[in-house]
């Protein structure tokens, strides 16, 4: 058997802001929404094809110089986390640096492209500069430039989820790319007051219910919550952990999306002019197919947990669009196989609509106020079951302009995530803009191999997707 090609590390350095961070900016507290997040990295891979065969494609000097400059405005990224007790951390803005690595890969990027840039090759693991946050010395942001034989590049990004959500990560990457091209960019805003709850905030029943869904109740009599003590049973590193996972990519073209949207309407809905959106129909279809693929009892519910950007609900707040940190909330849609088999696709699409349109800023504020009720923030840590058969996490990254991240050498050909850490039932929706007519999406889905087999053969998946890569 031909040995798997390996990545060779050629360069490793710490990139600091061009201008030293002032003393008055030496500490940045995390918001409550940051504190409850896990100390884990959010992975992103951007693939750049060197179609013009440029000798200085994705030039290292250009990338590093622009990174240094943009870090002046995103200076906390070059800092380190400091534990201040009672479950809280702050960022020490000490300019310790962003980890920057460059590697060579003895293959052509074209071979990855032919396979849909799927994250099933062993070397995907090595395309990232770091994988786990283990100590206070670990970076908050790490970048790796992987160079292929044909000049193509895979840009691996790891940003600590505890300091930034996907929206914030894209804000930084957009600024870095624009600085590399000499263009003005939007600067980050780190004012935590932007996400503080108003004095007249009322903790509603909705906020209490949502809070209890996302946190583990340990002592119901006192409503004290903390991290799930059984969290280890969901870890892939345990001896009795779940089966190996498999990733696939579904390509959705405009014709399939339009068909899916059309099928997500009943005659009654059309007569009353109740219209579903393309994404409501798509997510509804995907949830139905996932439920059918799971080897669980017919009446056991599967929960799809979809992260929603809170900035959209605070759009009239000045500078909220540039807020850097975590400001996401989850919405949960629940279905079992019995419901799926007895209902129309429109029911699933409508379930997504109800969850998304009912989201109000009052829910964010109510949860923030609940966080303040206990001085010890460890009681608020989110629970997460990444390898549970009845849980699916979904991320809609299609509205974020990853496909526009041009460092002066052209836009990326594709965006992918390395989502093994996301567990059994992890779904990411990426947008595409590669010259094709109409809206196009890539759906990257990871589940156990048996569920993936059933999912691939699902009639709705076959009907609406243009191509399945696995």
pLDDT in tens, 182-214: 999 999 999 999 999 999 999 999 999 998 888
∠ CA 370-375-376, rounded to 5°: 100
Q: Give the CATH number for residue 172.
A: 3.30.559.10
CA atoms within 13 A on the CB side of 262: 8
Asked if residue 205 and residue 158 are part of one domain, the reply reads: no
Do 184 and 291 sit in the same domain of this protein? no
Listed range (264-273, 334-343, 368-377) with the worst mean pLDDT? 368-377
* 225 and 185 housed in the same domain: no
Q: Check residue 425 and give its pLDDT.
A: 87
Query: What is the pLDDT, as a whole number, of residue 238?
Result: 40
Taking CA atoms, 44 is separated from 173, 366, 392, 402, 414, in Å, by: 11, 32, 19, 10, 11
Task: Please name the residues in contact with 52: beta carbons below 8 A apart, sequence gap of 6 or more.
Answer: 410
Whether residues 236 and 160 fall in one domain: no
> Would the pTM count as exceeding 0.85?
yes
Residues 113 and 29 in one domain: yes
Across 29-40, average pLDDT: 91
| Phi, psi values for residue 442, rounded to 5° | -110, 130
Rounded Cα gap, residues 249 and 388, in angstroms: 21
The secondary element (H helix, E strand) that includes residue 304 is: strand 302-309
Stretch 363-370: mean pLDDT:
93
Are both 231 and 363 inside the same structural domain?
A: yes
**Residue 240 falls inside a structural domain:** yes
Flag whether 1 is in a domain.
no
Q: Which domain holds residue 227?
A: 200-469
Q: Tell which wins on pLDDT, 223 or 112.
A: 112
Over residues 142-162, the mean pLDDT reads 96
pLDDT band at 451 (very low <50, low <70, confident <90, very high): very high
Which helix (H) or strand (E) is 19 found in, with range?
A: none
- 212 belongs to a structural domain: yes
CA angle 402, 406, 410 (to 5 degrees): 115
pLDDT at position 159: 96
230 and 181 share one domain: no
pLDDT given for residue 229 in this prediction: 44
Query: Is residue 5 helix, strand or coil?
Result: coil
Determine, yes or no, domain membership for 415.
yes
Please identify, among 169, 193, 217, the residue that sits at the C-terminal boundary of a domain: 193
In the prediction, which pLDDT does 253 show?
92
Indicate if 159 and 284 belong to the same structural domain: no
Task: Bin 53: left if φ > 0, else alpha if -120 < ψ < 50, else beta.
Answer: left
Nearest to 416 by CA among 428, 434, 400: 428
pLDDT at 436: 59
Both 336 and 296 in one domain: the answer is yes
> How many angstroms separate the Cα of 437 from the Cα of each of 259, 261, 305, 368, 402?
15, 17, 31, 43, 19
Number of domains in the chain: 2
Average pLDDT over residues 69-93: 95
Residues 174 and 221 in one domain: no
Q: Of 161, 193, 225, which residue constitutes the final position of a domain? A: 193
pLDDT value for 433? 66
Q: Is the model more confident about 121 or about 334?
A: 334
Task: Decide if 465 contacts 252 (C-beta within 8 A).
Answer: yes
Within a domain: 88: yes
Distance of alpha carbon 35 from the chain centroid: 17
pLDDT at 315: 73
CA distance 257 to 282: 7
Mean pLDDT of 23-49: 92
Quick one: which of 427, 353, 73, 360 has its CA closest to 210? 360
Q: Are 117 and 107 in contact (CB under 8 A)?
A: no
Q: Is residue 365 part of a domain?
A: yes
Helix or strand (DSSP H, E) at 58: none
Instruction: Return d(Cα 250, Cα 456) in angstroms, integer.
Output: 9
Is the pLDDT at 67 greater than 90? The verdict is yes
Cα distance between residue 282 and residue 468, in whole Å:
15
Residue bearing the bigger pLDDT, 421 or 167: 167
The answer to the question of residue 2 being in a domain is no
Whether residues 187 and 204 fall in one domain: no
- Has residue 123 got a pLDDT over 90? no
DSSP letters, 160-209, are: ETTT--HHHHHHHHHHHHHHHTT---PPPB--GGGGPPPTT----HHHHH
**Separation of alpha carbons 5 and 24, rounded Å:** 48
Give CA 68 to chain center in angstroms: 25
Given 152, 173, 193, the domain boundary residue is 193
**Looking at the structure, do residues 145 and 255 belong to the same domain, yes or no?**
no
């Amino acid at each position: 058997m031909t040995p798997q090609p390996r990545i060779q590390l050629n360069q490793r350095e710490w990139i600091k802001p061009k201008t030293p961070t002032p003393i008055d900016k030496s500490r940045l507290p995390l918001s409550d929404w940051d504190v409850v997040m896990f100390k884990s990295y959010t992975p992103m891979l951007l693939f750049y094809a060197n179609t013009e065969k440029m000798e200085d494609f994705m030039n290292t000097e250009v990338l590093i110089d622009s990174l240094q400059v943009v870090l002046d405005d995103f200076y906390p990224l070059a800092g380190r986390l400091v534990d201040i007790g009672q479950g809280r951390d702050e960022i020490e803005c000490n300019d310790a640096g962003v980890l920057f690595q460059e590697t060579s890969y003895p293959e052509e990027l074209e071979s990855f492209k032919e396979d849909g840039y799927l994250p099933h090759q062993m070397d995907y693991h090595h395309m990232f500069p770091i994988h786990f946050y283990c100590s206070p010395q670990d970076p908050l942001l790490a970048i790796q430039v992987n160079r292929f034989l044909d000049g193509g590049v895979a840009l691996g990004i790891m940003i600590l989820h505890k300091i930034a959500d996907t929206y914030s990560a894209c804000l930084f990457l957009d600024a870095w790319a624009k600085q590399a091209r000499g263009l003005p960019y939007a600067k980050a805003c780190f004012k935590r007051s932007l996400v503080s709850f108003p004095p007249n905030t009322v903790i509603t029943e909705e906020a209490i219910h949502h809070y209890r869904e996302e946190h583990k109740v340990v002592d119901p009599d006192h409503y004290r919550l903390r991290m799930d003590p059984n969290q280890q049973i969901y870890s892939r590193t345990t001896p009795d952990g779940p089966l190996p996972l498999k990733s696939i990519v579904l390509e959705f073209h405009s014709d399939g999306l339009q068909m899916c949207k059309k099928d997500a309407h009943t005659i009654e809905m059309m007569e009353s002019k109740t219209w579903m959106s393309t994404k409501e129909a798509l997510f509804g279809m995907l949830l139905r197919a996932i439920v059918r693929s799971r080897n669980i009892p017919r009446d056991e519910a599967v929960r799809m947990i979809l992260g929603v950007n809170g900035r959209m609900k605070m759009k009239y707040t000045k500078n909220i669009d540039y807020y850097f940190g975590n400001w996401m909330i989850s919405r949960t849609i629940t279905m079992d196989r019995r419901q799926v088999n007895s209902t129309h696709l429109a029911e699933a699409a409508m379930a997504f609509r109800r969850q998304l349109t009912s989201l109000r800023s009052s829910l964010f504020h109510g949860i923030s106020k609940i966080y303040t009720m206990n001085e010890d923030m460890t009681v608020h840590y989110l629970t997460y079951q990444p390898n549970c058969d009845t849980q699916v996490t979904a991320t809609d990254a299609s509205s974020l302009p990853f496909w526009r991240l041009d460092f002066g050498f052209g836009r990326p050909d594709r965006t992918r995530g390395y989502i093994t850490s996301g567990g059994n039932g992890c779904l990411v929706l990426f947008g595409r803009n590669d010259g094709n007519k109409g809206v196009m999406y890539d759906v990257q889905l990871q589940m156990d191999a048996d569920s993936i087999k059933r999912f691939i053969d699902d009639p709705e998946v076959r009907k609406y997707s243009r191509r399945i890569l696995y």
